[in-house]
Structures are given as C-alpha cells and as structure tokens.
Amino acid sequence: MIYISTGIAIVMAMGVFMLRMKETKKPVNEKKIILPPLFMSTGALMFIFPMFRVSRYEFLEALVAGMLFSILLIKTSKFEVRDEKIYILRSKAFIFILIGLMVIRLVAKIMLGSTLEIGVLSGMFFLLAFAMIVPWRIAMLYQYKKVKAASFS
C-alpha cells in the first residue's frame, strides 16, 4: 500500500510541477490564488471516517511540519507585471524544493508507516499538505495585492 500511495504522490508532484509551469504563462488574479486551497479543503471530509482520524499530537505535528514547509514555497513565489498584467515568476528553485519535499515525505512515510495505521498516516499527510498550501496561498495573495496596488494605483 505504501508503494502505491508513493507512486500516486510522485504522479501528483509531477502534475503540480506542470501546472506551476503553465501558471507562469498566464496572468494571475485573486481567484486563481484563493481557489486551490478551497478545492483541497473538501478532502477534509475524509475525517468523517474513523480510520482517518488523528490524535491532537498527530494533528499538531502535521500542522507544524506543513507550515514550516510552506516557508520554502513562500520564499520562491514572486510576481511581476508584464503588459499591464500580473504574472507569477518562474522559480528555478521550485523543482528542487518540490523534489526535496517529496523525498522528505517519502522518508517520513516509510518511517511512520510501520508505526501508524495507513488511514491515520493519510490523514496526517493531508493535514501537512493543507497546512503547507494555505499559508503559501495567503502569502501569495498578500504579495499579489501589494504588486497590484504598487503597479496600478
């Protein structure tokens, strides 16, 4: 089961990378920044089922790890104005950060997979990803509004 979920995570990471590269070719707006975490939030419905529920300690652990990882994404997300539109800059470090996060996630999954049930582990990794994406997108929205105010006022 760990191998299947790892394979799926790798495919998803490649998808994120491809989406991010596409994202740099089109102008950004508030909606494009806010919607991904909202769509992802529906995944929290997994916690309706007891097998996915995590303890308070596991919840805090995943939350803190996700927020720490978000710092890397925040630091590499920059905007620029081209043709009177705002674009996200392509970061050379993004692919390395994405690969690094995947490796850390894989190592953590292997280490924790023997001590935690697969449902709890899934719940923790969902929380980690959500806790990483939300601060990143909030920071992006703040940066976007700053660039927009400076450029179009």
If we measure between CA atoms, which residue out of 47, 60, 65 comes closest to residue 109? 65
Low-confidence ranges of the chain (pLDDT < 70): 1-2, 153
Question: In the chain, where are the structural domains located?
Answer: 26-152
Asked if 1 contacts 118 with a C-beta cutoff of 8 angstroms, the reply is yes
Token representation of residue 37: 């975490």
SS3 86: strand
Per-residue pLDDT tens digits for 7-28: 777 787 788 777 777 777 889 9
| CA 24 from centre of chain | 17
Question: Interhelix angle for 118-152 vs 30-41, to 10°?
Answer: 170
pLDDT for the residue numbered 114: 78
Cβ neighbourhood burial of 93 (10 Å; 0-12, 13-18, 19+): exposed
pLDDT of residue 1: 64
State the pLDDT at residue 23: 73
